Amino acid sequence: MSTLDDRARQILRKNDRGGYTLPTHGLYPYQWNWDSAFAAWGFSTFDIVRAWDELDTLMASQWDSGMVPHIIFHRPDPGYFPGPEIWGTGQEPATSGITQPPVAATMARLIWESDPATGSARLEALYPGLLNWHRWWHEVRCSHGPAAITHPWESGRDNCPDWDIGMADVDGSGVTPYTRRDTSHVDPAMRPTKQDYDRYIAMVEFGRNAGWDDTTIMRQGPFLMADPGITFILLRAHQDLAVIGRALGHDVREIEGWAHTLRAALPSIWNDRLKAYDARNLRTGAFANVLGSGAFLAYLANAANPTLEAQLMRVWNAVNYGIPSADPQAASFDPRKYWRGPTWPVINALLAIGFKTAGRHDLERRLRDETQTLIRKHGFYEYFDPLDATPCGGSDFTWTAAIWLTWAGRTPETAQKGTA
């Protein structure tokens, strides 16, 4: 495995811009929130100081409200749209105005457990920021119970079918004309549609016109949906933050309270008709009625059950490589279109953490073998066709390299402590 290990480390070094790491050159030329947390996890296998630096740089751009933005525009780059001038957040360095899945506390815990001697002081410095971000999630985004998103980009699973019912209510017809950049880097057939982009930009324009005020966006924004994926990631991250806080000698009752309240909200995203957790339009109460990988992240938070597992196995057994991002038996399934069907190594890694937590080593092994096969066949791509393994999206991808070093490329003997 040494050659692929070397290649994965080279990718992290190549995408390193000094304190932060690009997801991939060209397509994503800035620092992204959850990509950065995974990058830190990857760095922790060979450069622990660099791992903590990555998390420091991410948290340094936290807003006064506690929100941690989804993109930090450290240096101008005309290769990405929408850039800082479209977001207009007035932050320094410039940032976007929305957030992304809060995996940072979970990654910080794994990194710290891999080397507590180096990590304790770094973790102590990060702790207040993580606490404020989680408080923001609880107070602002969990006011309806489950975690709410105000833009599909916040979910990290941008164009998955989960958001179709909410997107249908967004009017993208009046957006200021713009030129996309993503479709000049990768095959446009693998990216969201023009109609999707018009609506994404309409939501950005709403936020900018509202001065990125949380209350206005939550009450009047064009899109508000409960995200099962973030709900489970946040629940898991609350638990990890409580473990960290306790170890550092802090009173963690507030965090335990957030976790307790969030767990109590899980029945509101259980869709009996779908027989699974489901996204929900918080403006209308309607369920999305479509199964996606966000629902399976329930394993991360010890919230899976036999009915959900039956759905997981149906979906997984319908493809050949990894867990697909959307249901292969649904009409909306597209095996190469971004989050509407492809398998994502990074999501497989999160699911694997969940399987291990639930004691399901059988599922974890199968998923590791299939993810490893994809990377061995084709390299460190952003995502893959789960039917025939075709590599899709960007190449030399940071989080794919990171999860190779921490999980997909490991055997139980070579795994980092706490990860296998």
Q: Where are the beta strands (DSSP E) in 212-316?
A: 225-226, 270-271, 276-277, 280-281
C-alpha 275/C-alpha 305 separation (Å) is 10
Least distance to ligand 2M8, CB of residue 198, Å: 15
User: Roughly what angle, to the nearest 10 degrees, separates helices 104-114 and 33-43?
Assistant: 10
Closest to 339 (Cα-Cα) out of 323, 358, 350: 323
Residue type, 318: A
CA dihedral 208, 104, 336, 361 (to 10 degrees): -160
Q: How far is the CB of 382 from ligand 2M8 (least distance, A)?
A: 7
Rg of the chain, C-alpha, whole Å: 20
**Interacting span for ligand 2M8 (CB under 6 A) from 60-68, 86-94, 153-161, 256-264:** 153-161
**Residue 382 annotated as catalytic:** yes
In terms of CB distance, is 72 or 226 closer to ligand 2M8?
72
Rank residues 122 and 185 by Cβ distance to ligand 2M8 and give the closer one.
Answer: 185
* Interface segment toward ligand 2M8; rule CB under 6 A; list 50-58, 84-92, 151-159, 233-241: 151-159
Give CA–CA dist 292/325, Å, rounded: 6
**Minimum CB distance to ligand 2M8 smaller for 35 or for 240:** 35
Instruction: In whole angstroms, give the CA distance from residue 26 to residue 302.
Output: 38
Q: Is 292 helix (H, G, I), strand (E, B) or coil?
A: strand
- 34 vs 212, beta carbon nearer ligand 2M8: 34
Query: Contact letters (x/-) for ligand 2M8, 342-381, by CB under 6 A?
Result: ----------------------------------------
| Residue 28 vs 232, nearer CB to ligand 2M8 | 28
Q: Nearest approach, Cβ of 63 to ligand 2M8 (angstroms)?
A: 17
The residues that bridge with 326 in the sheet, in sequence order, are 292
Shortest Å, Cβ 124 to ligand 2M8: 28
Is residue 396 part of the contact set for ligand 2M8 (CB under 6 A)?
no
Kindly state the smallest distance separating residue 100's Cβ from ligand 2M8, in Å.
6
Output the smallest distance, CB 254 to ligand 2M8, in A: 29
- In the complex, least distance from residue 373 CB atom to ligand 2M8, rounded to whole angstroms: 22
**Helix residue spans in 168-227 (DSSP H):** 182-185, 194-209, 214-220
CA 271 to chain centre: 23
Question: Is 124 one of the catalytic residues?
Answer: no
CB of 33 to ligand 2M8, least distance (A): 7
- Give the 3-state secondary structure of residue 57: helix
Which tokens sit at 217?
């966006």
Q: Which of residues 23-42 bind ligand 2M8 (CB under 6 A)?
A: 23, 28, 32, 34-35
Q: Return the H-helix or E-strand segment holding 352.
A: helix 345-357
153 or 321, CB closer to ligand 2M8?
153
Out of 153, 287, 321, 407, the only residue in the binding site for ligand 2M8 (CB under 6 A) is 153
**Number of chain residues interacting with ligand 2M8 (CB under 6 A):** 10
Tokens of 64: 């006064």
Which of residues 83 and 119 has its CB atom nearest to ligand 2M8 in the complex? 83
Enumerate residues 38-97 that contact ligand 2M8 by CB under 6 A. 70
Which stretch in 137-145, 150-158, 221-229, 240-248 sits in contact with ligand 2M8 by CB under 6 A?
A: 150-158
Q: Is residue 191 exposed (0-12), middle (13-18) or buried (19+ Cβ within 10 Å)?
A: buried
CA dihedral 242, 248, 253, 258 (to 10 degrees): -30
Q: Which two tokens stand for residue 286?
A: 């309607």
Q: Name residues contacting ligand 2M8, limited to 180-219 (CB under 6 A).
A: 182
User: Which C-beta is closer to ligand 2M8: that of 32 or that of 258?
Assistant: 32
Q: Single out the catalytic residue among 158, 254, 256, 309.
A: 158
DSSP string covering 99-133: -----HHHHHHHHHHH-HHHHHHHHHHHHHHHHHH
Which residues are known to be catalytic? Answer: 158, 382
Residue numbers at the binding site for ligand 2M8 (CB under 6 A): 23, 28, 32, 34-35, 70, 153, 156, 158, 182
